Structure 1
Amino acid sequence: MPSNVPTFPELLGSATSTAVHLEMRDSYAVDYEKGPFADWRAGFRHDPGDRASWWRPWLDLIQETVGRGVVVRRARIVSEPVSEYIRFEHSGTFTNITAGEQVRWLPRRQASAIALPGNDFWLIDGRLIRWNHFTGDGASAGGEISEDPAAVKLCTEAFETVWERGIPHDHYAIT
């Protein structure tokens, strides 16, 4: 990863008011043989009462960020019927919400008329973009930082439009 790309603790630590994240892939690289996705495929589900077992240290970082007064929102554009990976994400999203994130889902068919950037991103305080690059099979290809005003405007408008049209997590049913 390029040296100018801050770590997520640094990135979210720099946020003073907002941190928004747009995800547009139906699958990210997962290990089908081991790890959280494999466990989920085998029937594991997070126990809402066992917070210590959830995805750490990410949820601690979100909780700390929200605790400083930063509004953290995540929007996911998904194809329907959803992929197995999206089912996995959906089943564990309650942990993000418990940590303080707000999450909405937008069926891809409802995103056709939205001008979207070519990559997933985080937008911090409406001024700094962290692009998330991926390979064709969903593996991380690193990140990139931008403060380009045109890109910031595109990301802001895209995210807000997706957010307005999105369905809050607790109302988005996967069938």
Structure 2
Amino acid sequence: MIIIDLLENDIEKINQTARLLHESFEAWPTIDSAIREVFESLSDDSISRVLVNGDDEVIGWIGGRSQYDGNVWELHPLVIRKDSRMRGFGKLLVIDFERQVYQRGGITIILGTDDEYNQTSLANVNLYDDIPAHLSNFESLDHPANFYRKLGFVIVGVIPDANGIGKPDIIMAKRVKSVD
């Protein structure tokens, strides 16, 4: 397994990455929408890395965009092929992404992780009545927030109803540059 840059001229890997995205997330309901997303990740202010197996197949992808003059990078998206999940590949891609951000002078990585399937204590409640209390009492079942927390990310906010009533987007962040 190797992690490499996804390049604009590597159409085969772009197509594999788009298929992976389309098959894994409802947010990309067509292969064309997934291809557009992949091409958007190839801009100069972006990071786009793929995990490739020995057969030159894309089994994972991580992307991100620079914000706040390069101080902050948004991790978006992270996807692993279904038959390769729960084997540490997501962790490898996140660690590689952290290195890429650090090498570019970034300080912080942010990400949003949706709760569309009632997997956390933030789903199906009125978050507006006391957002800080809901965040401080956060609990999660089998939600990606657990994965990111194990990698050192912390919850820094929530966007209530981002995906419909009772379906929030949980905002997480991690500093990658040490404080001198």
Smaller-chain TM-score bracket: under 0.3
Which one has the bigger strand percentage? 2
TM-score (norm 2): 0.24
Q: Larger relative contact order (C-alpha < 8 A, sep ≥ 6)?
A: 1
TM-score (norm 1): 0.24
